[in-house]
Amino acid sequence: MKLFYAAASPYARIVRIILIELGLYDGIEKEIATLRDPDSALLPTNPVGRVPTLRLDDGTTLTETLLIVPYLDTLHDGPPLLPRDGSDGWVTLSRMGTAMGLLDGIVAWNRELRRPEEQRSPGMLALERTRATRTLGVLEDAVGQGAYRGRLDAAQIALGSALAWTERRHRIFAWRDGHPALSAWYDDIADRPSFTRTLPPVT
């Protein structure tokens, strides 16, 4: 297998963390891909030009985090990281959806802020701030009541990656303020070797 990724991509980081947790990371080929580059080595494999992209040994290409994770979940004999059969009452998928929704909104917010100021949409910026604030409130309550704990799963990895990216790449949003349970939870998961090994750069 070969993984195309960008070191700063939180989506690719989720896949990289899962590969490490499953003991697969060192056994696959990896290439850091340039994005928005017409000569990128990624494009012959994935014409969409996004990471993560996982090319299997038979040439099949898997793209998008939420498509790659279920495949990786078939490559080990332990408990599933993302049960897709309802065996956990659909809890992990539900929590994964909330974590990915938080990440998607904050990434969109950050992308809008990179546009020239006169081209930014105030309505879109307000929407994403409101969405993120509302979602963090729900997550604070959920974590305080014991959610996103126990045996490591894909939802925990996604949430940890989302908070890490926000803290390091979207510092305009002080997500820790007013969220002590979530902050403490994040500090714990951020100490896992798989998280420290894949720490995104600060820009």
Average pLDDT over every residue of 117-130: 97
Task: Report residue 39's pLDDT band, with 50, 70 and 90 as the boundaries.
Answer: confident
Reported as a single tens digit per residue, the pLDDT across 56-83 is 999 999 999 999 999 999 999 999 999 9
Show me where the domains of the chain are located. Answer: 2-72, 91-193
From CA 101, how far away is CA 98, in angstroms rounded?
5
Torsion angle in degrees (nearest 10) through CA of 157, 162, 163, 165? 120
Q: What is the pTM of this model?
A: 0.96
Q: Examine the pLDDT at 115 and tell me if it is beyond 80.
A: yes
Q: What is the CATH number of domain 91-193?
A: 1.20.1050.10
Average pLDDT over every residue of 112-118: 96
List Cβ neighbours of 119 (8 Å cut-off, separation of 6 or more).
Answer: none
Residue 186 tokens read as: 């994040």
List Cβ neighbours of 170 (8 Å cut-off, separation of 6 or more).
Answer: 106, 109, 110
Helix (H) or strand (E) holding 2: strand 2-5
Average pLDDT over every residue of 89-111: 97
What architecture does CATH give domain 2-72? Answer: 3-Layer(aba) Sandwich (3.40)
Q: What confidence score (pLDDT) does residue 73 get?
A: 97
From CA 36, how far away is CA 28, in angstroms rounded?
25
